[in-house]
Amino acid sequence: MEVNIMEMSKLLVKDLMNGKFELISDYIYQIEEYSIRVPKGFVTDYASIPRIFRAIVLPYGKHSGASVVHDYLYSKGCDLDIERKKADKIFFEILKEEGVNPILARLMYIAVRIFGKIRYKIKK
């Protein structure tokens, strides 16, 4: 199944020197019917990779854009009505679009499906 997806702006961040990064401009992705705008000032840690696995996968890389969008969709600051399962699927689609190795993309998707519930915001 072909998914309509496009990065609409470049990801620009400043390193906060504590493992976190702050967007210095809005980061926009168009995917399916969603226009996802991660606002300037949003703070991310990119991919939340446990230290034991960082010899294999760093928190940043080709997957950085997907990680920022996913962090935003999981955050309380996100005003889009996107459920966790859909946020994880969007993460997976952006990983593929960014050219992440298909096996790594699948493993990262499985990891957020299994462990993401801990970090997902409660919107009521």
pLDDT tens-digit map of 66-75: 999 999 999 9
CA distances from 106 to 27, 40, 64, 83 (A): 24, 29, 15, 20
Q: Report the share of the chain in percent with pLDDT over 90.
A: 58
Return d(Cα 16, Cα 61) in angstroms, integer.
17
**pLDDT at position 47:** 82
**pLDDT at position 46:** 85
Q: Return the CA Rg of the chain.
A: 14
pLDDT at 120 over 80: no
SS3 6: strand
pLDDT at 60 over 70: yes
Return d(Cα 18, Cα 37) in angstroms, integer.
24
For the segment 43-57, the average pLDDT, to the nearest whole number, is 75
